[in-house]
């Protein structure tokens, strides 16, 4: 399933399904996502299957004997495989995020403190990034659900303050952001209200025309023009660095695709734009835009930065084609929609699209499957 030659992480060289079963004790294992730093560490987000039971978890590979040391400190919740030097933890156990278990064990008390409403059932896991963050949909009594995000890679207080600033800056405009309801610093949590309406991917799949996309682009224009000043920077230099890192990752995990990715990065390096920065979402996915009549709402706004508006549009363009590749949108909708996005773009769009192409190629490189290289080349060919 995974075969990466790294002298400092030898356990990655022949990570077969049989070996994954031994490491985890499960009947079958799917690799959901790989994070990897050459010579230093690898983290595999996995899903295990035992009978009819599914669960998520993580495999950690470190240079040296760190995995063994972590396993010894967490004997009750971790398994160590001497052959691969891998540390396995089944969700919700995570040695870098013990607050996940704390939250799940105490949600009946924690949720009312965060939201002002009693819980109406157990939190439902939406997204887990081992060691970094975890997001839950939390049903509430007599109230729409709330979304609790536990973060290790950001400050909930900063996120809450930034959210309030954006809400004020966007008041009366064509777009809003899902509001933050509270924070709990003991577990590194921030809770958001639910956005109303349908996400853009659902709206486009059900629509007979592209008016929803027109509305979404108009809403983004209002966001870029808003008096928002973020501490985060996502200008050309930062985007180029992301593209370079993505190409390096592809080279290490899908060497057959390395040439195509590095060619794109070489072109980016020759033409780095110089321009003023404006507020952008920074992680523009179809599912991060909600439409409810005339109302447009952004979610997952932790990535809001000062950057290039064309980067938001390039991401939107790339995600339209990715949705078509994955069978969620028709080729006609993806084609017409991407043409509409390009028509709305500015002079930095093609440069930004190069960054997006390599970043989306990395997305597939992080998910090792038999068709991984084919998916990488397909997205690069479509967006280059």
| Whole-number Å distance between alpha carbons of 110 and 101 | 12
* 51: phi then psi, degrees, rounded to nearest 5: 65, -125
How far is residue 266 from each of residues 244, 247, 260, 351, measured CA to CA in Å?
9, 10, 10, 12
| Verdict on whether the full-model pTM lies above 0.75 | yes
Tokens of 315: 């991401």
Note the pLDDT of residue 208.
Answer: 80
Angle at 372 between CA 368 and CA 373, to 5 degrees: 130
pLDDT of residue 256: 95
Cα separation, 256 vs 262, in Å, equals 12
pLDDT, tens digit, 9 for 90 and up, residues 145-166: 999 999 998 999 999 999 999 9
pLDDT of residue 153: 84
Give pLDDT tens digits for 277-335: 999 999 999 999 999 999 999 999 999 999 999 999 999 999 999 999 999 999 999 99
Residue 56, token pair as written in the block:
């998520």
Q: Is 308 helix (H, G, I), strand (E, B) or coil?
A: coil
Give CA–CA dist 369/2, Å, rounded. 9
Residues of the chain under the 70 pLDDT cut: none
């Amino acid at each position: 399933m995974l075969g990466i030659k790294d002298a400092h992480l030898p356990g990655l060289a022949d990570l077969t399904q049989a070996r994954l079963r031994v490491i985890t004790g499960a009947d079958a294992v799917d690799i959901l996502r790989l994070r990897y730093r050459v010579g230093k560490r690898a983290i595999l987000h996995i899903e295990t299957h035992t009978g009819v039971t599914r669960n998520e978890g993580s495999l950690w590979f470190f240079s040296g004997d760190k995995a063994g040391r972590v396993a010894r400190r967490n004997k009750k919740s971790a398994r160590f495989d001497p052959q691969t030097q891998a540390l396995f933890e089944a969700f919700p156990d995570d040695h870098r995020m013990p607050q996940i278990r704390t939250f799940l064990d105490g949600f009946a008390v924690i949720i009312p403190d965060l939201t002002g409403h009693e819980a109406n059932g157990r939190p439902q896991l939406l997204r887990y990034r081992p060691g970094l963050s975890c997001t839950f949909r939390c049903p509430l009594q007599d109230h729409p659900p709330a979304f609790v995000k536990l973060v290790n890679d950001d400050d909930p207080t900063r996120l809450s303050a930034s959210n309030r600033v954006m809400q004020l800056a966007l008041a009366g405009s064509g777009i809003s952001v899902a509001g933050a309801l509270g924070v709990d610093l003991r577990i590194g949590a921030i809770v958001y209200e639910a956005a109303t309406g349908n996400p853009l991917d659902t709206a486009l799949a059900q629509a007979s025309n592209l008016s929803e996309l027109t509305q979404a682009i108009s809403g983004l224009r209002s966001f870029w023009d808003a008096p928002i000043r973020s501490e985060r920077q996502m200008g050309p230099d930062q985007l180029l660095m992301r593209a370079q890192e993505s190409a390096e990752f592809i080279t290490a995990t899908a060497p057959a695709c390395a040439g195509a990715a590095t060619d794109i990065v070489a072109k980016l390096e020759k033409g780095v734009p110089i321009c003023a920065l404006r507020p952008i979402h920074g992680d523009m996915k179809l599912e991060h835009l909600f439409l409810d009549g005339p109302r447009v709402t952004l979610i997952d706004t932790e990535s809001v930065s000062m950057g290039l508006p064309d980067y938001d549009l390039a991401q939107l363009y790339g995600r339209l084609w990715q949705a078509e590749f994955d069978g969620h949108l028709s080729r006609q909708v993806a084609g017409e929609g991407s043409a509409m996005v390009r028509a709305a773009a500015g002079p930095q769009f093609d440069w930004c699209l190069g960054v997006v192409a390599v970043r989306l190629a990395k997305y597939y490189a992080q998910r090792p499957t038999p068709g991984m290289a084919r998916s990488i080349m397909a997205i690069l060919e479509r967006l280059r």
